[in-house]
Amino acid sequence: MAEEQANNGGQPGFVPAALLGLCPKCGARTLFDGVAQFAPRCRVCGLDYSSFNVGDGPAAFLTLIIGAIITVLAIWLEFTWAPPLWVHVLLWVPLTAGLVTWGLRVSKAALLVAEYQRKAREATNDDLRGQ
């Protein structure tokens, strides 16, 4: 990872930045202020995270994908061993919450890093006119 940052002028690669919550500009672990909430800006280099438009798009996809996987696993467990209801609750509730939370962190970080690396910004009227 250190060699990758040296080649990119201190900027972390896409995957490490998304997985570890690294600032896309300087590589410091300052991307998140809470569990899945971005900090207002990087405390090291001052990059303004609020200028990026990540939104809550990943939440819907994660909920559907993880919900489908957990449902299939729960049905499989029920038909294979028929455990009591409390086993299902003890197993699937924390697993679902953990996977969704971790997935939100990674996907939101990945979208922010992608926007930064591609210099994405909101379109203006000048862009629409071709200037």
In tens, the pLDDT along 16-69 reads 999 999 999 999 999 999 998 999 999 999 999 998 988 887 888 899 999 999
pTM for the predicted model, two decimal places: 0.82
Residue with tokens 């405390």: 43
**pLDDT tens readout for residues 103-129:** 999 999 999 999 999 988 777 777 677
Q: Would the pLDDT of 5 be above 60?
A: no
Q: Can you tell me the distance from the alpha carbon of 78 to that of 88, in angstroms, rounded to the nearest whole number?
A: 8
